[in-house]
Structure 1
Amino acid sequence: MDLVTLTVDVVIALWVVAVVVGIVRAIKARPPRLAPLPEQIRNRFEVGWERISGRFLYEPQWAVGEADSLVMSLLSARGQPLDHARLPREMQQARHDAAAAANGRPRDKTEAMRQVLLQYRTVFERNLGPKPRRTAPVPRREVA
């Protein structure tokens, strides 16, 4: 084997390794398939969101913190990995904006928190999934 053939073989081997590593990373990075929620649990999350949004007017900082907890619980219930890098981008942005809003000027703080709560609501609604369809019973016909 001469030097040129050996060099070509090494380059091809490195290229194959790079392709395999790329495929493995792509598989790990893909979004997970989220499990559907049973109707009872889905209703519990909806009631929790209504409670949070109802208290925002009186305690905006509490509502933003509770919204974060509720959305993280929802993601966990659906099977979403909860490490920061695998969270949905909207959730990462909402958490970043929540931290910034908490440190903002008092006059602008409430509006910033309202915007953050809207971001959490978007993540919440997207991950709650559609309401399960209730199929109406088919009326029976009497055969004559």
Structure 2
Amino acid sequence: MSTGATIVLIVVVVAVVLAAGWFVAERMRSRNLRSRFGPEYDRRVAETDDRRAAERELAERRKRHAALDLRPLSEASRTRYAEQWTMVQERFVDQPREAVVEADALVVAVLRERGYPTDGFDQQAADLSVEHAAAVEHYRGGHDIRLRLERSEVSTEELRRALVHYREVFGSVAGLGAGPQADTARRYDDAAR
């Protein structure tokens, strides 16, 4: 084999190896983002209709999130918020509209105390999606019903769904997965059916 042919062969092999490496790295990045963001990944890809643009946005969210000064709630705050949440759920029986408004405000209060910026809903949802991917769709669902509530376009059943959405978000951001708050929520669901 001539020297020129050897050089061409080496260049082709290097190019193939680099292309394969790039392809594998992109697939791993996509898999990592899909794993981290779950349904939020699929939602962003569908909304932008451009996987690369969606992945760039999600990567930017991770960077922004990493720069936030987030902190867990103290045990006293968690207990206080759990008690407030119980009162919101109890209020729903007689005042469902007011209870949904209070549920929204309570979620924002917890976010604020944890260190999340609370400037606007879209940014809150984006920030929340990094650490609470499973809860962010609930946040959007509750918020959508909350906005329609302001225009008096919701039924009592929709208000109940909003409260359930907010409960999922609240439990996630407040760090209340199981225990008394979850037991109260199950009793509430049983009574509402």
| TM interval, short-chain normalised | 0.5 to 0.7
5+ long unaligned stretches in structure 2: 1-55, 126-135, 178-193
1:117 partnered with 2:166: no
Q: TM-score, normalised by structure 1?
A: 0.64
Corresponding residue number in structure 2 for 1:87 = 124
Q: TM-score, normalised by structure 2?
A: 0.49
4+ long deviations beyond 6 Å: none
Pairs within 5 Å for 1:1-144: 26=60, 27-28=63-64, 32=68, 34-83=70-119, 84-88=121-125, 89-90=136-137, 91-102=139-150, 103-104=152-153, 109-130=155-176
Instruction: Say whether the 8 Å CA contact 1:101–1:112 is kept in structure 2.
Output: no
CA RMSD of aligned residues (A): 2.6
Name the CA shift for 1:130/1:120 in 2 (closer, same or farther; >3 Å): closer
Larger Rg: 1
SS of the residue corresponding to residue 34 of structure 1 reads coil
1:33 Cα shift?
Answer: 6.4
- Distance in structure 1 (CA, Å) of the matches to 2:110 and 2:147: 21
Using the aligned pairs only, state the percent identity. Answer: 30
SS of the residue corresponding to residue 81 of structure 1 reads coil
SS of the residue corresponding to residue 70 of structure 2 reads coil
Q: Is the helix fraction higher in 1 or 2?
A: 2
- For 1:77, give the aligned amino acid: E
5+ long unaligned stretches in structure 1: 1-21, 132-144
Q: Greater CA deviation, 122-131 or 58-67? A: 122-131
SS of the residue corresponding to residue 164 of structure 2 reads helix
Name the CA shift for 1:29/1:128 in 2 (closer, same or farther; >3 Å): closer
